[in-house]
Amino acid sequence: MTTLLSGAMLGYGWIARHGHAPYYQHAQDVKIVAIADPTAACRERAQADFPGVRLYEDAASLLVAEKDLDFVDICTPPRWHAEYAIAALDRGLNVLCEKPLATSTAEATAMIDAAQRNHKVLLPCHTYLHAPVVRAVRQLLDDDRIGKVHLVTLQTFRNTHAKGVIDWKTDWRREFQYSGGGIAMDHGSHTFYLAFDWLGALPSAVTAQMTAQGSWDTEDAYSCTVSFPGGLLAMAHLTWTAGVRRVYYTLHGERGAITVQDDDVELALMGAPLEGGNGAVQWTYERIACPSDWMDASHIGWFGALFAKFQAALAAGEPVTQELRHAWTCVHLIESSYHSAQAGSASQPLVSVAAVVDTDTADTVA
Ligand SMILES: NC(=O)c1ccc[n+]([C@@H]2O[C@H](COP(=O)([O-])OP(=O)(O)OC[C@H]3O[C@@H](n4cnc5c(N)ncnc54)[C@H](O)[C@@H]3O)[C@@H](O)[C@H]2O)c1
């Protein structure tokens, strides 16, 4: 029997309306009963999308007034993620939270503490895990096609920062006070949880570099090298100043490599050594097309699978999932990247998330 979940959305801007609401409007087992947003135009759109929904100008009033909620879905800019998640968890609610989980390690730690203290689920929106092309990569790894992965590179090219709704602060991603950072904070989450998943490990150190054009107080280009135990490595390049919109990932294993360019996956497999003895081998290639709608930044096609994860965590009574441990580590890695860049790219050691997770609420490591 499916349980009907009663939910509230905190923030009803672009991702809430285009990336979450279309799923809730058609789902049989979720009902959005309340929405908070300080912007009148956003509340009007919420009313049109969910006729009869109870509207609030601020999240605190919603959390006091609504007595029968099961969960809140936080879709505000990152500045409010920790405050609202902790308030909701302390009210005994489960929380789905947009990425990045938080803007600092201290905030992320307090959020995990609140989930554990209240034994409620706090699940970050790690949307890219559910892209068809990323699922295809996971299948190739599960099928052991390239052997153990020891190196990954992740590049995200964007010609500009994504804009928020025009009715609030459309360029909030470039204002540190709302975003907590530039492209590292905005795209770093997606980048690093993929790296952790593909390497099957959590990082031990980072060295980073970044730049900013124009007068914003956040970076628009970022590159880093992330070290993992056992010599595993991830390298990332993220920019809002690219001449193309594309994701470009490579994974290198003992017996081959996987390359992802938006919707296309190439599997390269090492064969027998060629005669001549200079190290050359026979290569074979397989190509898989996985239409993933990368150009649609709402990623609405991926949200159903993400919400199913949330429901599974609720059913299992699992406050701290692998996604949450990865989200904490993403925030810590991004914050440490800023320290590295400020220190002339000096390597920054990273703390393990194990230090903040109670062992009895954690699932398996990495
Ligand atoms: N998972 C993904 O792929 C993905 C994609 C886009 C955005 N996001 C994330 O979603 C979040 C929102 O981004 P967006 O693009 O929708 O921004 P947006 O600017 O379009 O929407 C933000 C909304 O929050 C409202 N708001 C502002 N202050 C608030 C407050 N104190 N309380 C409640 N609401 C408040 C604004 O009025 C606005 O409606 C960010 O964390 C962003 O990183 C994730």
Tokens of 93: 């609610």
**32 CA from centroid of ligand 1 (Å):** 17
Cβ atoms within 10 A of the Cβ of 48, count?
10
Average pLDDT over residues 47-63: 98
Please name which of 68, 10, 67 lies closest in space to residue 43, comparing C-alpha atoms. Answer: 10
Residue 277: per-residue pLDDT: 74
Residue 246: per-residue pLDDT: 94
Q: Tell me the pTM.
A: 0.96
Averaged pLDDT of the chain: 95
Sign of the Cα pseudo-torsion (146, 142, 134, 103, in order): negative
Residue 61: per-residue pLDDT: 98
**5 CA from centroid of ligand 1 (Å):** 22
Query: CB within 6 Å of ligand 1 — which residues?
Result: 10-16, 19, 36-39, 42, 59, 75-78, 80, 98-99, 125, 127, 162, 164-165, 168, 172, 186, 299
Please give the residue that has the higher pLDDT: either 364 or 154: 154
Pairing of strands 281-289, 149-157: unpaired
What 3-state class would DSSP assign to 349? strand
Please give the residue that has the higher pLDDT: either 294 or 311: 311
| Confidence bin at 122 (pLDDT 50/70/90) | very high
Residue 364: per-residue pLDDT: 39
- The best mutation among 79, 168, 247 to test binding of ligand 1, ranked by most ligand atoms within 8 Å of the C-beta, falls on 168
Please give the residue that has the higher pLDDT: either 190 or 292: 190
- The best mutation among 165, 171, 183 to test binding of ligand 1, ranked by most ligand atoms within 8 Å of the C-beta, falls on 165
Tokens of 151: 């190196």
Amino acid at position 322, single letter: Q
Note the pLDDT tens digit of each residue in 202-249.
Answer: 999 999 999 999 899 999 999 999 999 999 999 999 999 999 999 999
The yes-or-no verdict on residue 362 having pLDDT over 60 is no
**94 CA from centroid of ligand 1 (Å):** 19
The yes-or-no verdict on residue 17 having pLDDT over 50 is yes
Residue 360: per-residue pLDDT: 58
Tokens 């860049």 belong to 341
Note the pLDDT tens digit of each residue in 31-40.
Answer: 999 999 999 9
**257 CA from centroid of ligand 1 (Å):** 36
Average pLDDT over residues 77-102: 98
Note the pLDDT tens digit of each residue in 124-141.
Answer: 999 999 999 999 999 999
For the chain, list the domains and their CATH numbers.
Answer: 5-128+299-324+341-361 (3.40.50.720), 129-289 (3.30.360.10)
Note the pLDDT tens digit of each residue in 173-194.
Answer: 999 999 999 999 999 999 999 9
| Confidence bin at 297 (pLDDT 50/70/90) | confident
Note the pLDDT tens digit of each residue in 250-261.
Answer: 999 999 999 999
Average pLDDT over residues 82-110: 98
Please give the Cα distance from 182 to 200 (Å, whole number): 27
Residue 39: per-residue pLDDT: 98
Judge whether 36 and 11 are in contact, CB under 8 Å: yes
Please give the Cα distance from 341 to 333 (Å, whole number): 12
Q: Whose CA is nearest to atom 27 of ligand 1?
A: 76
The yes-or-no verdict on residue 1 having pLDDT over 60 is no
Residues 6+ apart with CB under 8 A from 209: 222, 223, 224, 340, 341, 345
Burial group, residue 197, by CB count within 10 angstroms (0-12, 13-18, 19+) = buried
Q: Whose CA is nearest to atom 18 of ligand 1?
A: 164
Residue 286: per-residue pLDDT: 97
Lowest mean pLDDT among 98-112, 205-219, 252-266, 267-281: 267-281
